[in-house]
Structure 1
Amino acid sequence: MPQEIETPAATSAVAYKRVMLKISGEALMGDQGFGLHPPTVERIAKEVKSVHDMGVEICMVIGGGNIFRGLSGAAQGMERTTADYMGMLATVMNALGMQAALESLGVFTRVISAIPMDQVCEPYIRRRAVRHLEKKRVCIFAAGTGNPYFTTDTAATLRANEMACEAIFKGTKVDGVYDKDPVKFDDAKRYDTVSYDDVLAKRLGVMDASAIALARDNSLPIIVFSLDEPGGFRGILAGEGTYTKVQG
Structure 2
Amino acid sequence: MPNHSIQDKVVLITGGAKNLGGLLARDLAAHGARAVAIHYNSDASRDAAEDTVQAIRAAGAQALAIQADLSSAAAMERLFAEVVAAFGRPDIAINTVGKVLKKPITEVSEAEYDEMAAVNAKSAFFFLCEAGRQLNDNGKVCTLVTSLLGAFTPFYAAYAGTKAPVEHFTRAAAKEFGERGISVTAVGPGPMDTPFFYPAEGADAVAYHKTAAALSALSSTGLTDIGDVVPFIRHLVSDGWWITGQTILINGGYTTK
Q: Higher helix proportion, which one?
A: 2
Alignment TM-score, normalising by the size of structure 1:
0.43
Alignment TM-score, normalising by the size of structure 2:
0.41
Q: Higher strand proportion, which one?
A: 1
